[in-house]
Amino acid sequence: MKLRDVVQLLVLSAIWGASFLLISISVGSFPPAWVAMLRLFFGAMFLWAVMFAKGRKLPPFRLIVVLLLVALFNNAIPFILFPMGERFVPSNIAAVVNATTPIWALILGMTFVGKKAEGGAIPGIVLGFIGVVLVVFSHGTSGAAVSRHDYLAGIAYIALASAAYAIAAVLAKAKLAGLDPIGLATTQLSLALLMVTPVALFGPHPTAFHAASLAAAITLGVLGSGLAYLLFYTLLDRVSPTRVVSVTYFGPVWGLFWGKLAHESIAPAAYVGVAIVIAGLVLLSRTSSPAKQKVHAPVKLSEAAACE
């Protein structure tokens, strides 16, 4: 890869890694559905501007059912579940749990679409889950405001969000290949916004607006769900999908980095867990040859997915 591509790949992984910290800041003022609504609104507005500027095309209406399902599982559900989880879970832990998305995608593929467990698939799945468990249980809640029950409930919300990303990945790969990626991403965010807005408006409302939380929500939308898509698909135009997918490996690392800057507690065992997770992801990436690997929009690999 050229230096420009390497820099863009690092920027993309940093943005997706920072999404978890931005979510953590956003929930300081906004209920989870409001975080999702604001994120989708500003992300969609950014992508609509790109759409008009570049003259890109929206997907055909005949695919509306699949588009709705992908928007539901890739955006509406996880964008609410992540803030629900991060009320009780530090952003660095959330980033590591989100790294299970490729693992869930492979399990779903083997279960429902007949994908065979090749190469390092099974060892990769086992290593990935062992690493995540080590990271999750390295974080203690004694003396903290969060109980063990709330902490584990938060982990469950984040794991469900990651599984939702995986469902969207399988659907998109099977049904939405070959469409304009920017048009597809724009449609995704817009449809998800229509789903989430009623939930936000008829649910709990913010009781106070803090500038930091609002700025975090806006940044989350524009960067984490707007610019990140643009960078991702720009890279795919120049670099092989196999190399772009390597952004997945950086998600947990950036999660720890941003969490450290935010003064979140990180136990030494968490670093070991992250190394094990990355080893598992590397094994998963070798389940098929590079020539056979394809990335289809709008799969977010990390949040990280690529998402958030």
Residues paired with 305 in a beta bridge: 302
Residue 214 lies in a domain: yes
Residue 298 lies in a domain: no
Give the pLDDT of residue 120.
65
Provide the domain limits for residue 193.
Answer: 3-285
Residue 296 lies in a domain: no
Residue 251 banded pLDDT, cuts 50, 70, 90: confident
Range among 37-46, 101-110, 200-209, 244-253 rated most confident: 37-46
Q: Could you read off the pLDDT of 98-146 as tens digits, one per residue? A: 888 878 877 877 776 666 666 667 788 888 889 888 988 887 654 456 7
- Over residues 57-71, mean pLDDT: 94
Residue 156 banded pLDDT, cuts 50, 70, 90: very high
Q: Which of 215, 223, 303, 307 is nearest to 255 (CA)?
A: 303
Residue 153 lies in a domain: yes
Give 46: exposed, middle or buried? Use CB within 10 Å, 0-12, 13-18, 19+.
buried
Domain count, the chain: 1
Q: Greater confidence, 64 or 147?
A: 64
Indicate if the pLDDT at residue 26 is higher than 50: yes
Residue 294 lies in a domain: no
Enumerate residues 6+ apart whose C-beta is below 8 A from 205.
Answer: 31, 34
Structure pTM?
Answer: 0.86
CA atoms within 13 A of residue 302's CA, in its CB half-sphere? 29
- Over residues 271-289, mean pLDDT: 78
Residue 211 lies in a domain: yes
Residue 290 lies in a domain: no
Residue 100 lies in a domain: yes
CA distance 56 to 180: 7
